[in-house]
Amino acid sequence: MASNFSIPGSLGNDNNIIGGKRCGALSGDTFDVVSPVTGEVLAKVPECSKEDVDKAVETAKQAWYDYKLSPVFKRAALVRRIAERVLENKMEIAEVLSMEQGKSLKHESLPEVEETAKNFVLAAEDIVRMETPIIPMEDHNKRVLTFREGVGVMAVITPWNFPTVIPSEYLGPGLAAGNTIIIKPASFTPLSMILVGDCITQALKDLGFSPGVFSLITGPGSTVGEYLVSHPDVDMIGFTGETVTGERICSKAGIKKTLMELGGNGPQIVCDDANLEEAAKAAAFGCFYNSGQVCCATERILVDKKVHDRFVRLLLKEAGEWKLNHPLEGEDYCMGPLNNESTLKKTEEHLSDAVKKGAAILIGGKKEEGRPTNLYFPATVIDGVTRDMLLNTDETFGPVAPVITFETDEEAVEIANETRYGLQMAVFTSSIKKAFFYADRLRTGNLVVNDTTDYWEAHEPFGGGGGTKSGYGRLGGRFTLEDVTSFKTVAIDIEKTL
Ligand code: NAD
């Protein structure tokens, strides 16, 4: 472990937050959070069961009515205060995030915590400008107003690749809009979110809100998560994670409102008229940032055959810049370890499938030996990838740059669209006409022209494309407010009022 890191004393065993208090599981059970960086146990967290979920849901239900009726500007002040609290503690949160997730402190964790705070600020700004229409009616005595209001008790279930920013995408708008929220963070990376949870508890206290507005419970998705989403007193679910998990949650949720942010398999398409230096730099970033563990990572690089050789040379040069390192050390951009064994296994399986079918690894390809854990996997470039390979058909989620060639733009569209995912794609071209050729045809929720698939800004509406399995609803900015509120119409007969 880096000599200057020690786990904050506040992360003891009692890491659930219910009704403003830290507590353990009612059973007393715990599980270990192990650092992918060092292999050491960072902390123990409660292994909750149904009884803990019942307690959190009852607390959130009790708090909801008053919270929903609270003034909107006061809720805006609350989420702004949360942002301040997060920023006051950002270094401590970011260090824990790096140690439990594996990402670079300077280049990834600190920016993630800052973006976490920003999501609360954006929610504060957006909620006070959420206007709704007045509807003209045939009956002249009627005036019809519309409102958006908090749905009720909201369950938020999140993955391990962005342990604080993804929760904040739900918590900011969800709290600002008047929902009470229970979050279950991913079991690999709950600790940084627990520290953010403390900031939320403190902000609720600062503003004089009930502590029951926010709860956090930890435990396995298959038991705690599943019981939470099925609970009759949970009114809406915000979920980010794998497509199969999202499908399972929807089957359990019944008619509850859901917001689903699921897997991606974003290609970066490199056309023959692209700036190849820029395209190679962007592709390397898209493949290796957070060791490829990003929903909008560049999972595939589709390159026009005419520029293939030049592009691959440039890509290899860029890939060589991405070195493995301890995430708390190093000034330069670096990659930390993968977060967990199943991600390592999937990465190895996809590479071995591709090699068996004829693809060639140009650099990387094998985990590095002699590191503190098994999880340090280098930047890998693999050429000659074809449409039948797992690297093309499935999300890999590792630091791999698979190069696939195409001969026509129509073929590139076909390859891009043929997997079930459609989250974020990128196209490099110097032609506006070509950019729109792709924009009109790619089945994706988001398209980036001339930048990496990993480009986003916090307030941008982000989510899956229609007809794909990357989810629905939008995270980012004011659009999320529509997904975390329900619509209410009030018709008034003004003739019958005093
Ligand atoms: P995952 O689906 O395995 O787990 C996500 C969360 O769901 C975890 O908290 C887990 O405990 C919980 N869970 C698991 N089974 C559950 C069940 N039956 N009921 C309720 N909850 C359950 O995903 P992961 O491996 O943590 O994350 C990686 C995936 O997330 C990738 O597919 C990635 O593309 C996706 N992702 C999507 C976005 C997006 O914005 N679309 C962003 C980040 C990650």
Alpha carbon separation from 166 to 70, 224, 380, 443 (Å, rounded) = 26, 19, 27, 24
The Cα 185–Cα 33 span in angstroms is 12
Overall domain count for the chain: 2
493 lies in some domain: no
**CATH number of the domain where residue 242 is located:** 3.40.605.10
List the alpha helices (DSSP H) in 89-137.
90-101, 110-127
The Cα 127–Cα 129 span in angstroms is 5
463 lies in some domain: no
Same domain, 65 and 119: yes
Structure-derived torsion over alpha carbons of residues 334, 338, 339, 344, reported in degrees to the nearest 10: 170
The Cα 159–Cα 174 span in angstroms is 18
CA of 159 to the centre of ligand 1 (A): 5
User: How large is the average pLDDT for residues 412-418?
Assistant: 97
Largest CA distance in the chain: 82
Task: Choose which residue among 261, 295, 338, 421 to substitute to test ligand 1 binding: the one with the highest number of ligand atoms within 8 A of its C-beta.
Answer: 295
Same domain, 236 and 383: no
The Cα 335–Cα 338 span in angstroms is 9
**Bridge-partner residues for 45, per DSSP?**
31
**In this model, does residue 182 exceed pLDDT 60?**
yes
Task: Choose which residue among 237, 240, 245, 454 to substitute to test ligand 1 binding: the one with the highest number of ligand atoms within 8 A of its C-beta.
Answer: 245
218 lies in some domain: yes
320 lies in some domain: yes
Q: pLDDT digits over 238-289, tens only?
A: 999 999 999 999 999 999 999 999 999 999 999 999 999 999 999 999 999 9
**221 ligand 1 Cβ < 6 A:** yes
The catalytic residue among 261, 299, 318, 395 is 261
Q: How much is the pTM?
A: 0.97
**Contacts (Cβ under 8 Å, ≥6 apart) of 415:** 267, 300, 302, 387, 392, 404, 406
The Cα 283–Cα 260 span in angstroms is 27
User: How large is the average pLDDT for residues 86-97?
Assistant: 98
Same domain, 183 and 311: no
Backbone angles phi, psi at 402, to 5 degrees: -90, 125
178 lies in some domain: yes
**263 ligand 1 Cβ < 6 A:** yes
**CATH number of the domain where residue 320 is located:** 3.40.309.10
Q: What is the pLDDT of residue 457?
A: 97
Q: pLDDT digits over 65-82, tens only?
A: 999 999 999 999 999 999
**264 ligand 1 Cβ < 6 A:** yes
Same domain, 229 and 81: yes
Active site annotation includes 295:
yes
464 lies in some domain: no
CA of 241 to the centre of ligand 1 (A): 2
Same domain, 285 and 153: no
Same domain, 479 and 429: no
User: How large is the average pLDDT for residues 202-209?
Assistant: 98
CA of 299 to the centre of ligand 1 (A): 17
**265 ligand 1 Cβ < 6 A:** no
Domain membership of residue 355 as a residue range: 267-458
**Bridge-partner residues for 16, per DSSP?**
23
Identify which of 24, 43, 47, 23 has the alpha carbon closest to the alpha carbon of residue 33: 43
Same domain, 214 and 312: no
Same domain, 346 and 432: yes
Same domain, 122 and 171: yes
Strand 380-383 with 400-406, pairing? parallel
Same domain, 221 and 332: no
Q: pLDDT digits over 122-158, tens only?
A: 999 999 999 999 999 999 999 999 999 999 999 999 9
Task: Choose which residue among 222, 242, 454, 470 to substitute to test ligand 1 binding: the one with the highest number of ligand atoms within 8 A of its C-beta.
Answer: 242
Same domain, 258 and 273: no
Q: pLDDT digits over 339-375, tens only?
A: 999 999 999 999 999 999 999 999 999 999 999 999 9
Active site annotation includes 261:
yes
498 lies in some domain: no
**122 ligand 1 Cβ < 6 A:** no
Q: Which amino acid is at 303?
A: V
Of the pLDDT bands very low, low, confident and very high (cuts 50, 70, 90), residue 99 is: very high
| CA angle (214 as vertex; 54, 209 as ends), nearest 5 | 125
Q: Which amino acid is at 380?
A: T
**187 ligand 1 Cβ < 6 A:** yes
- Between 321 and 2, residue with greater pLDDT: 321
**Three-class secondary structure of residue 358 per DSSP:** coil
496 lies in some domain: no
**146 ligand 1 Cβ < 6 A:** no
Same domain, 160 and 307: no
The catalytic residue among 48, 295, 296, 334 is 295
Hey, whose CA ends up nearest to atom 13 of ligand 1? 221
